[in-house]
Amino acid sequence: MQVLVRDNNVEQALRVLKKKMQREGVFREMRARRSYEKPSERRAREKAEAIRRSRKAARKQAQREGLLPAPKKKLRTVPGRPAAPSSHSA
């Protein structure tokens, strides 16, 4: 894995590296390898993960088909800027 450091900005390069490692699953694997996992525990964990993935896919499919309401959008506020005025202000 490789990250370019621009203008000696090491903090930004570290953020980019952490994001890449997170996406690749390096942190999850490091945590898993910290201690031994019995084969039976591994099978149970993988089965639970598969069930979680299939439920998530089914939920997304139902939302696309209109059977479930879409999740509410979270309002993102930018630091240093006032929040957008609401439509029903007094």
**CA 6/CA 11 separation, integer angstroms:** 10
Residue positions counted in the chain: 90
Neighbour-count burial for 31-69, b at 16+ CB within 10 Å, e otherwise: eeeeeeeeeeeeeeeeeeeeeeeeeeeeeeeeeeeeeee
| pTM metric for this prediction | 0.56
Per-residue pLDDT of the chain in tens (90 residues, 90 and over written 9):
899 999 999 999 999 999 999 999 999 999 999 999 999 999 999 999 999 999 999 999 999 999 988 888 888 777 776 666 666 655
Contact 89, 82 (CB under 8 A): no
